[in-house]
Every structure is written in structure tokens, then in C-alpha cells.
Amino acid sequence: MINLSVEDIKELVAKEKENEAELKKAQDEASHIIEEARKEAKAILSDVQVPSYFKTLHEQEIKRVEEKKSTWEMECNRALENLKSKAGENVQKTVDYVIKLIFGA
């Protein structure tokens, strides 16, 4: 059995304190690493970007449909004009038919 002196005990306690400080430092460093990772994760999530190909595809599709719609509307306007014009040509024939029906001829 070896008896430690007061000085020995003090030396060991000092060593233990030194250890505790080292551990605290390590914990702070670990927390810092985690905190940095969280910041990086936030940046990753806020920077989610759809590949430009899809955006371009979407824009192209909108443009294509707009063009198709515009062509379609032009055709429709032509159809309306044609209807108006033909009805103008046919109006006398229609009036004659209505008059014929009214007088039962």
C-alpha cells in the first residue's frame, strides 16, 4: 500500500482539471462542427434548384401553347368572319323562306 502525499493528490486534481478543460474544449468544438453542419444544411435546402432544362422545357411549352392558341384564335376569327359573311349572303334567301312560311305558300 502506497500512501499518496497531499502534493501528489494536488497534482492529480490539477491533472483532472486540465482534463476537464480539454473535454470542455472538445465539446465546444463538436458543437461548433454540428452548428456549421446545420448552417450548411439550411443553405443546401434554400438553394434547391430545378435543373434549368426543366425550366426551359416549361417555358418552351408555355410559348408553344401560346402560339398554338394564337393560331387557333386566328382560325376562330376567320370562322366567325366566314359565318358572318355567309349569313349575309344567305339572309335574303332566309327572309324569303320565312315569308313563304308566314303566308303558307
Per-residue mark of binding to another protein, 47-86 (x: CB under 8 A): xxxxx--xx-xx--xx-xxx-xx--xx--x--xx-xxx-x
C-alpha cell at 43: 443553405
The C-alpha cell 370562322 sits at 79
Write down the least CB distance from residue 62 to another protein, Å: 6
3-state secondary structure of 75: helix
The C-alpha cell 366566314 sits at 82
**Is residue 1 part of the contact set for another protein (CB under 8 A)?**
no
Cα of 61 vs its chain's centroid, Å: 17
Q: Footprint of another protein on this chain (CB under 8 A)?
A: 2-5, 8, 11-12, 15-16, 19, 22-23, 25-27, 29-34, 36-38, 40-42, 44-45, 47-51, 54-55, 57-58, 61-62, 64-66, 68-69, 72-73, 76, 79-80, 82-84, 86-87, 89-91, 93-95, 97-99, 101-105
